[in-house]
Amino acid sequence: MREKTKKRTIKNMNTQNNTMNDDKCPSARRIIDQLKQNQIDEINLYDNHKKTLLSICEYLIDSGINSDLFEQCLTQQVFMESDIPQSLHNKRSLAFVIQFLECVEPPCCEVENLPKVIANVIQIYCSDSNAEILKTVPSLIGIVGMISVFHMFARSQIQPSELNRELNILLPAASEQPYVASSRKYCLAATEALLKAPPKDETTDSFKYLSTIPDVQYILSRYPLDRTIDHIKQLLYQYKESSIQSTLRDVFYGYLDGRVVSKPFSWPTTDFISIKEIQTAMNLDSSTFQSIVLGEDPKVKEFLTQQQPETFETLQNQQLPASTQPLAQQQRQLMQVQPKIKQEKEERNIKKKALNSKSQDATKPKMEDDEHSKLKKKKRRFSEEETQNLIEGVQQFGIGHWKSILNAYKFDGRSCVDLKDKWRNIENSRNRINKQKVQPQVSQPHSNASMLPPFNSDNF
């Protein structure tokens, strides 16, 4: 074992010297080395290491942390295209697009990069049904690009012939993307107008020149550059907000909120019992672990600086033993949960006894002191939080795993049967709402399809 670790560290140093300047993720790097050198025999472990790497990549991308870890993994063939889930592709594309837009300085952006940017956006919303809001983005970026091209033309930075070429690249005639056709129409008119009235050689003020061309002016008034770019950014961020957060990030945020200790989370294939097990699974020492996963995240950083003395230590204390004895920890966690369960059970037993004695004595008469015999629990409505927890829990564990959900999430004195009943209610109410909405919708398509005129654009 020790020999292995020695070898590993030596090789680590080598690779670090080779790849250089990337000490951001030493542990990820170590996993890469292990994978590349086939030091891992078990297939499961091998698989988990890959997935761990993917999760780290996902986390870094989600957190906006610049790191070429993902690219390195690809180029070094640590994982293949087939290992990468579509969602991660999309996150990467999104990060690329956002980064590009953040760097744009109107009026001129790097036009040569725009096709790639546009392609990325199209890829995202074609593969993710939640990305509908991005549908207008390709046409908007195309327009931004064309405005940039106009300026370059005005400054004689590009040849007249390139004007049409850029138009065909940024807003292709054959594009089936929404809004592209109409955007192209405007830009085509503007291009022709520009070619008819080319700038004098000495024109330096592109704004002045462009404002003399009505067709260009129309575009500029309809799509003011700054506001358009802001709008694009806003759409991108909105999508980013709505898209799923990375597994690791979720776990850590939950951990900071103090509810993760017993909350299992769904690793791509394996369930880890707690945050400590992630560390074990990642085979990291706690300081590396923290620097990678805790240190880089703004929320986590803030947390650490605010509460440094206590929590930081407890974090370490909790994490250190993990590598040696995950089982013992699970037991400890269970022990923490146990008292509550015991209490509840005891209460129940008392009730049962009371019930029994009551029914036995019931042959004798008199329900007298029924304050106690009203053993039926007082009705307490599910709080918003409890309901939310239940929904999350079902997402995580699936329907029917009420006990697991009960243990993993915070509920106020509920039993698994309560959760089951609550879920039944939730589903019932969903069905009711659907019935109300769906029925009227069903009848429409048939009649409409046949009744609609084939074209309603005859005015054109």
Partner DNA sequence: CTAGGGATATAT
Partner DNA sequence: ATATATCCCTAG
CB of 87 to DNA, least distance (A): 29
Does position 416 interact with DNA (CB under 7 A)? The reply is yes
CB of 360 to DNA, least distance (A): 14
Does position 11 interact with DNA (CB under 7 A)? The reply is no
| DSSP state letter for 378 | P
Using an 8 Å Cβ cutoff, are 90 and 124 in contact? yes
Give whichever of 205 and 427 is closer to DNA, judged by the CB atom. Answer: 427
Does position 428 interact with DNA (CB under 7 A)? The reply is yes
Q: How open is the CA angle 181-174-223, to the nearest 5 degrees?
A: 30
Give whichever of 304 and 391 is closer to DNA, judged by the CB atom. Answer: 391
Interacting positions 305-324 with DNA (CB under 7 A): none
The first and second tokens of residue 154, run together, are 């005005």
Does position 401 interact with DNA (CB under 7 A)? The reply is yes
Give whichever of 289 and 382 is closer to DNA, judged by the CB atom. Answer: 382
Q: Assign 216 to helix, strand or coil.
A: helix
Does position 409 interact with DNA (CB under 7 A)? The reply is no
CB of 389 to DNA, least distance (A): 13
Give whichever of 153 and 402 is closer to DNA, judged by the CB atom. Answer: 402
Q: Which of 399, 410, 434, 438 binds DNA (CB under 7 A)?
A: 399
Q: Which residue is listed with tokens 């472990």?
A: 45
Query: Could you give phi then psi for residue 399, rounded to 5 degrees?
Result: -65, 140
Using an 8 Å Cβ cutoff, are 193 and 138 in contact? no
CB crowding 216-246: b at 16 or more within 10 Å, else e: beebbeebebeebbeebeebbeebeeebebb
* Whole-angstrom distance, CA of residue 117 vs CA of residue 294: 31
| DSSP state letter for 323 | G
Does position 214 interact with DNA (CB under 7 A)? The reply is no
CB of 387 to DNA, least distance (A): 8
Q: Which of 127, 425, 434, 438 binds DNA (CB under 7 A)?
A: 425
Does position 156 interact with DNA (CB under 7 A)? The reply is no
Using an 8 Å Cβ cutoff, are 91 and 61 in contact? yes
Using alpha carbons, select from 54, 77, 57, 137 the residue that is nearest to residue 101.
Answer: 137
Using an 8 Å Cβ cutoff, are 46 and 6 in contact? no
Interacting positions 321-380 with DNA (CB under 7 A): 355, 375-380
CB of 337 to DNA, least distance (A): 11
Q: Which of 207, 214, 424, 434 binds DNA (CB under 7 A)?
A: 424
* Whole-angstrom distance, CA of residue 164 vs CA of residue 192: 9
Does position 388 interact with DNA (CB under 7 A)? The reply is no
Does position 417 interact with DNA (CB under 7 A)? The reply is yes
Q: Which of 6, 116, 301, 403 binds DNA (CB under 7 A)?
A: 403
CB of 279 to DNA, least distance (A): 29
Does position 435 interact with DNA (CB under 7 A)? The reply is no
Using an 8 Å Cβ cutoff, are 71 and 285 in contact? no
Q: Which stretch binds DNA (CB under 7 A): 24-32, 155-163, 282-290, 426-434?
A: 426-434
CB of 431 to DNA, least distance (A): 10
Using an 8 Å Cβ cutoff, are 289 and 279 in contact? yes
User: Exposure of 140 by Cβ count < 10 A (0-12 exposed, 13-18 middle, 19+ buried)?
Assistant: buried
Give whichever of 217 and 404 is closer to DNA, judged by the CB atom. Answer: 404
Taking the alpha carbons of 101, 106, 112, 115 in that order, is the dihedral positive or negative?
Answer: positive
CB of 424 to DNA, least distance (A): 6
Using alpha carbons, select from 144, 142, 139 the residue that is nearest to residue 167.
Answer: 142
CB of 380 to DNA, least distance (A): 4
> Which residues contact DNA by CB under 7 A?
355, 375-382, 399-404, 414, 416-418, 420-422, 424-425, 428-429, 432
